[in-house]
Chains A and B, each alone.
Chain A
C-alpha cells in the first residue's frame, strides 16, 4: 500500500492539543489548580483556506493562535506545520517556520515602535530573516498590496490613522511572503468605516488563493464575511466546526446558537 502522500498534508494539523496554566492560589494556604486554556483541540487547516475562529472571551481562541504561531508550546498533544513539529526541528527549519507564519495583532498602535518610521519597521522582518533582494522594493510592493500610498514609507506611526496603521501591520506580515497569516481581532479596535476597509482587505487576501488565513474575532458577522470555514470555541474546546454559511444557517451547538442569536441586526 502506498503511504499517505505528504503533498496533500494539511498546512496545519493539530491533534488533541491542550494548554494548561497554573491558576492562582485560592488563599494563603490554598493550592493553585491547573487551568485548561485549551482542552483537546483537534483541527486541520488546509492550504489556501480561510478559517474563522469565534467564541466568547476566555474560550481559548488566542491561546490556539499562539500555539499555531509557535509562541506557546502545547502541554499535551501534537502540533504540526507542513507535516513536522517546528519545535522539534533544527534551527534552520524553525526559522523557515517563523517566516512562514505571521501574526497581526489587535491594536496597531502598540505593535509599532513610535520612534521607527513605517518603512524601516517593514524592512526589519526582511533583515531578521536574511531575505535577499531589494528590500525597499519589497516593502513598496507590500504597501501596494494593502492599498497604502508609497508616501507612507517615510512616515512615523503617529502620523497614520488607525486603519492605515493596521494596514501597515498587515503589510509587515505580508512582506516576508508567509504561508499562514493569523489575525487576532484585527478590526475590533477600529472605527466602523475603517473596519470595513480592513475586512475587505482580509477577504481579498483570503480569496487570492496562495495565503492561508486564520481570523479570530468575537464579532460573528466580521468573521462570517471573511472566512469560508468556521471553528466555534468554548471553554478551550471546539464545539462546532464546518462551512461558515452552514453554521450560520443551522447552528448545532449551544455556543454557536448563542453567538448567532447575540448578533444584533439593524434591519
Chain B
C-alpha cells in the first residue's frame, strides 16, 4: 500500500535551534497514529510544520509528500489549496481556534465554500448533518450560537466537525482533549475516531497521554528532543518497548488497575528533565537521563527500521 503522507528527514528550525530533527514517518490510508512525547519533544511543531502554520521565524526542511505533492515545496497560495481540504487540523484550545465574534455557522460556511464552491449553497445542510453525526443535539440551534455559549466539550466537537467538513485525507489533532474533563475526553475521542473512520481518512493524534493512544490508535510514535525515537504498532510497542525512553514513559504511567492491585509501591520516575532547545546534548537527546547509555550514545543514533518497528537507539532493550 502506498502511504498518503510520506515524511522524510523532516526538520523544523529557527536559526541554529531545531525543534524537530530529522523525523521520518509514513502515514497509510486509514491509519491512526498516536504521536506522544513530553512538552518540548517537538510533536506540536511537527504538526504545525506539516500544515505550514509554523510560528514566525521557524522553517521546515526535508520533505513531506502528500499524494505526489511535496508540501514543503509549495507556495503559500498552493498550500492554501491543501490546508483544510486535504489535511485538516483540530487544535487544542477550542476557544482561540474559533472567532469569538462569529457564529458557529459562519465557520462552517467558510470551510464548506472553500472546500467546493458548488456546494457552498448547501453549507447549512452539510453542517447540520456533520454536527448531528458528531452527536451535537439541536445542531440547528448550535449553528446560530457563538463560541462562548458552548461548553468546552461541545466546542471541541465543533472543531472536529470543521476538520471533517472538507473531506480531508488526513486529520492532525493536536492535544484535542487536554482542556476537557476525563469523561468528556473519551466522548470527544470516540467522536473524532468515528468521524475519521467514516471519511476513511488517516489520523495523527498528538498527545502526552499514553492511555489515549493505547485505546484509540493503531500506531504509536514516540518523540523525544526533536527525534522520533520509537514507532510501531501500539500493542507491540506497549508490550515490548525497545527504546529506554518509551519504557520509562510506560512505567511512569499510573493506571487504576495498577493502583488497585497494589502492584505499585512507588511510581518510577525519569530522573532529570527534557533538555531545552538551547541545551540539547550532542548525540542522543535522552542519553543524560538514560540508564542504558553507552559511549556510542554521544553520536546521534540512526533511525533504523526492522520488523515494523522504527527505532533510534544504540543500546535498545
* A173 at interface, CB cutoff 8 A: no
Whether B255 contacts A193 by the Cβ 8 Å rule is no
Taking the nearest CB of chain A, how far is it from the CB of B184, in angstroms? 8
Report how far A191 CA is from B215 CA in the complex, Å: 20
**B184-211 with Cβ < 8 A to chain A:** 184-186, 208-211
Contacts of A266 on B, CB cut-off 8 Å? 210-211, 214, 238, 250, 253, 255
Given contacts A57-B181, A218-B181, A248-B259, contact A267 B269 (CB under 8 A): no
Inter-chain contacts of B209 with A (CB < 8 A)? 192
Q: Does A265 contact B (CB under 8 A)?
A: yes
Please report the C-alpha to C-alpha distance between residue A199 and residue B268 in the assembled complex, in whole angstroms.
11
Asked if A203 contacts B266 (CB within 8 A), the reply is yes
Chain A residues whose C-beta falls within 8 Å of the C-beta of B74 in the assembled complex: none
Give the residue of B183, B254, B270, B273 whose beta carbon is less than 8 angstroms from that of A225. Answer: B254
Do A191 and B39 touch (CB < 8 A)?
yes
Q: Are B256 and A260 in contact (CB under 8 A)?
A: yes
Q: How far is the CB of A234 from chain B (nearest CB, A)?
A: 11
Chain A, Cβ-Cβ closest to B268: A196
Q: How far is the CA of A219 from the CA of B248 in the complex (A)?
A: 20
Q: How many residues does chain B have at the interface if contact means C-beta atoms less than 8 Å apart? A: 36
The reply to whether the CB of B267 lies closer than 8 angstroms to some CB of chain A is yes
Chain A: interface size category? 35 or more
Q: Which chain A positions have C-beta within 8 A of B268? A: 196
Q: Confirm or deny: A42 has a beta carbon within 8 angstroms of a beta carbon on chain B.
A: no
Contact string, B214-254, partner A, CB cutoff 8 A, digits 1/0? 11000000000000000000000011000000001110111
**What is the bound-complex CA distance between A195 and B38, given in angstroms?**
11
A221 at the interface (CB under 8 A from B): yes
| In contact, A225 and B253 (Cβ under 8 angstroms) | no
Q: Are B260 and A56 in contact (CB under 8 A)?
A: no
Q: Indicate whether A193 sits within 8 Å of B269 (C-beta atoms), given known contacts A57-B181, A259-B183, A267-B238.
A: yes
Q: Is there contact, CB below 8 Å, between A267 and B257? A: yes
**Contacting residues, chain B, for A267 (C-beta < 8 A):** 214, 238-239, 255, 257
Number of A-B contacts (CB under 8 A): 100
B257 to chain A: closest CB distance in Å? 6
- Mask for B259-280, Cβ within 8 A of A = 1, else 0? 1100010111110011000000
Q: What are the residues of chain A within 8 A of B39 when measuring CB–CB? A: 162, 191
Closest to A191 in B: B38
Known: A219-B182, A220-B256, A248-B259. A191 touches B238 (CB 8 A): no
**Residue from the list A200, A245, A262 in contact with B260, Cβ < 8 A:** A245
Judged by a CB distance under 8 angstroms, whether B212 is at the interface is: yes
- B216 — nearest CB in chain A belongs to which residue? A264
How far is B254's CA from A219's CA once the two chains are assembled, in angstroms?
Answer: 10
Which residues of A lie under 8 Å from residue B264 when comparing CB positions?
225
Residues of A near B210 (CB, < 8 A) are: 192, 266
Query: Would A193 and B186 count as touching, CB distance under 8 A?
Result: no
Q: Mark A139-181, 1 if CB is under 8 A from B, else 0.
A: 0000000000000000000000111100000000000000000
In the assembly, what is the distance between CA of A93 and CA of B254, in Å? Answer: 41
Q: How far is the CA of A266 from the CA of B211 in the complex (A)?
A: 5
> Counting CB contacts under 8 A, is A263 at the interface?
yes
| B252 partner residues in chain A, CB cutoff 8 A | 192-193, 195-196
Q: With A192-B208, A203-B266 as given contacts, are A262 and B215 in contact (CB-CB < 8 Å)? A: no
**Contacts A193-B269, A196-B269, A248-B260 known; A56 to B254 CB distance under 8 Å?**
no
- B75 to nearest A CB, angstroms? 37
* Complex contact B267–A196 (CB within 8 A): yes
Kindly state the separation between the CA atoms of A267 and B250 in the bound complex, as whole angstroms: 10
With A191-B38, A192-B38, A193-B249: A199-B254 Cβ-Cβ less than 8 Å: yes
Using Cβ atoms and an 8 Å threshold, which residues of chain A touch B182? Answer: 56, 218-220, 259, 262-263
Contact with B along A186-207 (1 / 0, CB 8 A): 0000011111110110010000
Which residue of A is nearest B274, CB measured? Answer: A191
**Chain B contacts of A192 at CB under 8 A?**
38, 208-210, 249, 252-253
Sample (16) of A-B pairs whose CB atoms are under 8 Å apart: A191-B38, A192-B209, A194-B38, A194-B273, A197-B269, A200-B267, A200-B269, A222-B254, A225-B254, A225-B267, A249-B260, A260-B256, A263-B255, A264-B211, A265-B215, A266-B250
